[in-house]
Amino acid sequence: MPVLHNRISNEELKARMLAETEPRTTVSFYKYFSIDDPKAFRDSLYIQFDRLKVFGRIYVAKEGINAQISVPQSHFDAFKTVLFASHPALDQVRLNIALEDDGKSFWVLRLKVRERIVADGIEDATFDPANVGQYLQAASVNQMIDDPNTVFVDMRNHYEYEVGHFENAIEVPSDTFREQLPMAVELLQEQKDKNIVMYCTGGIRCEKASAYMLHNGFKNVYHIEGGIIEYVRKAKAQGLPLKFVGKNFVFDERMGERISEDVIANCHQCGAPCDTHTNCLNDGCHLLFIQCPSCAAKFEGCCSDNCREELKLPRDEQRARRAGRENGVKIFNKSKGLLQGTLHIPAPNNKNR
């Protein structure tokens, strides 16, 4: 039986990807549909995608599929053939091609079975994710964004909204989608009679959010078909003015696609205009935050002096410190305070030493 998961280190896989000479195409797609046996579906897809050297992150659940991947350009037609034939619901499924792409977005194929393709925290058995709001395409988006009877709602995380969003869009400040859903319902109670337009990166979160709003009594609910990625593609193709300002955050090595030249965020260390996300290089931290080139040089890619100093310690001591440290959400949120200035260092007699 073939091995249906990766057995090579991330370091080696990343080095192999960077050494590739054939261009790759970064693409995302999703579909809500019923899968009777997610594991069998996952295994079949893994075998076929692995043969085509597809890299990326794919989640499969009883409710459907969610994928962000890169495909060698010479295999792209074969990839589409495999995907479209894998289930009737996926025949001609919309593919969101990356707006800015150097082909270096992923270096390994991770295809996992999950309870949900998007963690939503919904426990209500009467909720129907198929009962979604009305789709909006680029021209309609531009028309509605200037309508005073319309509210645009960003259903992405706070760190995504911080670097780019639609003009005058409402932020639902949260680190997770499951927190956002009830927050959005509460936030918009006094605007129930207005047009509610939900949006996200590629459409998967705002589509489910639109269903949740309908489930909670909202009537005039819309969501942008294909999310920000498809909106920008269609608007450019049709010569429409772009109503999205800044950068579109993406969940791969690029961490962002430039939509407009506006820089609407600031470095989390010095406050200079900047919208470049990075992860702290310290393995005991990996905080996601915004860092300008000057601070990246000053702190050597770390979020603080403490992390910079810890990164210089012998590997064994770094591992010992990490073993005694509680892990939580590693995302900088400007509403929750400044970057952490200290790290928890276990006492010398710590059992993890």
Paired with 29 in beta bridges are 67
Amino acid at residue number 191: Q
Is 200 a residue of the active site? yes
| Max CA distance (Å), the chain | 66
DSSP 266: B
Return d(Cα 71, Cα 53) in angstroms, integer.
7
Give the closest residue to 256 by CA, choosing from 109, 122, 98, 116.
Answer: 98
Return d(Cα 35, Cα 65) in angstroms, integer.
9
Residues 273-305: b if buried by 16+ CB within 10 A, e if exposed = ebbbbbbbbbebbebbbbbbeebbeebebbbbe
Q: Between the CA of residue 12 and those of 15, 51, 220, 255, what are the distances in Å?
A: 5, 19, 50, 21
Amino acid at residue number 212: Y
Give the closest residue to 199 by CA, choosing from 178, 184, 179.
Answer: 184
Residue with tokens 């579909």: 31
Return d(Cα 45, Cα 118) in angstroms, integer.
19
Return d(Cα 25, Cα 96) in angstroms, integer.
11
Cβ contact 154:161 at 8 Å: yes
Give me the catalytic one of 200, 267, 274, 280.
Answer: 200
Return d(Cα 265, Cα 255) in angstroms, integer.
14
State the catalytic residues: 200
